[in-house]
Amino acid sequence: MAYDAKQELARVRKYYASDPLQKRFSAIVTGETNAGKTYLLRTARKPIHVDCFDPGGTQCLRDLIASGDVIADTFWQNEDPFSPKVFAEWKKTTDIRFLTKYYDMFGTYCIDSLTTFSKAVMNFQLASANRAGETPQHRKDYNPQKNIIENYINKLLSLPCDFILTGHLREIEELIAIDPSTGIRRTNTKYRLHITGQAVITIPLLFDELYVITGKGTPPKREMLIDSLGTYVARSRLKMNGKLDAIEEPNIVKLLKKSGFPWEDKPRLEKQDV
């Protein structure tokens, strides 16, 4: 069959129009401890499934869990580093959920948080090398850990729902200069995603959005940086249409509405007695 340029153009356009990934929202939401990263899920598209790796991290969602709007899997919070099983079990469970189209029921899927998730992956890596509970060795352990995290995040980015990954920030102090007469040090402080090695660069690149939640004043007023360089790093592809500001209210649905993205909840899940 002869190739036809116009037919190929039509095929590409048709594929783009029907590709669900082009209408998907994926974001890493970072912030310091108690910044409101998990609380932000209250504003996401429902129903919401949260794989909770942070111990006690779902307390701010208890009412939504009771109503059935949030399904919180807290099995992943308890790990024995000398006999780790959490990541292996999560991996198996996630594969089953893909096969059964479990995620189709949800408006949003979340891993809370990358910090503790990556620790579970490292425990898995050490156990696989018969060194459970030992101190990780640089490239020997961190490169495999990074590859595992990236591979599963890539898989989760194909979900038929929004995907939010929460993460903590690490404070980095850079020395700018030392006054030769007084010895006073001049430094610059910045905050970056708390993850080891090159993953601090490669994992954010997988996501469309990178947000930072900050708080100012007493009581703190929460703000969400969606475009920022310097002290914090944030970026947004949704902002490219000119409808969003560099600082937005911490509200996912409002953000989606404002940018013209799908924002509607999926049907509520049938409640079951437990």
- Look at residues 97, 90, 125 and name the one whose alpha carbon lies nearest to residue 111: 90
In DSSP terms, which residues pair with 88 in a beta bridge?
none
Burial status of residue 154 (CB atoms within 10 A of its CB: 0-12, 13-18, 19 or more): exposed
pLDDT tens per residue across all 274 residues of the chain: 567 888 888 888 887 777 766 677 999 999 988 889 999 999 999 999 999 999 888 899 999 999 999 999 999 998 999 999 999 999 999 999 999 999 999 999 999 999 999 999 999 999 999 999 999 987 789 899 999 999 999 999 999 999 999 999 988 877 777 778 877 777 678 888 988 888 888 999 999 999 999 987 667 788 999 998 888 999 999 988 888 999 999 999 999 999 988 999 999 998 765 5
Answer whether 122's CB lies under 8 Å from 128's CB: no
Overall CATH class of domain 26-169+193-229+236-259 = alpha beta
- Look at residues 20, 33, 39 and name the one whose alpha carbon lies nearest to residue 249: 39
What pTM does this model have?
0.89
Q: Where are the domains of the chain?
A: 26-169+193-229+236-259
> What backbone torsions phi and psi does residue 145 show, to the nearest 5 degrees?
-60, -45
> What backbone torsions phi and psi does residue 23 show, to the nearest 5 degrees?
-110, 15
Residue recorded with tokens 């703000």: 223
Q: What gap in Å lies between CA 94 and CA 97, rounded to an integer?
A: 5
DSSP label at 132? T
